[in-house]
Amino acid sequence: MVLRAALLRQECRGPHLFFADYEDSTPMGRKDPEWQKYIVVRKGSQGMELDVQEPYHR
């Protein structure tokens, strides 16, 4: 689950590094505010489903 969610988020965040290309030695940076979102993982009829959602603000 964690790997699928990390692959969906095409940026570096926390301990997860994302590289634009296999041969790059420098990881991409964070993409704020584009990726200040939640990735919700749930069990669907076809298996694991991932959904990107905006944070809830009170």
* 4-53 residue pLDDT tens: 988 898 899 888 899 999 999 999 999 998 899 999 999 999 999 999 99
Separation between Cα atoms, residue 56 and residue 36, nearest integer Å? 11
- Residue 23: inside a domain, yes or no? yes
CA angle 53, 55, 40 (to 5 degrees): 40
- Residue 58: inside a domain, yes or no? no
**What total of structural domains would you count in the chain?**
1
- Residue 14: inside a domain, yes or no? yes
- Residue 9: inside a domain, yes or no? yes
Burial 24-53 (b: 16+ CB within 10 A, else e): eeeeeeeeeeeeeeebeeeeeeeeeeeeee
Q: Indicate yes or no: pTM above 0.75.
A: no
Question: For residue 36, what are the domain limits?
Answer: 2-53
- Residue 48: inside a domain, yes or no? yes
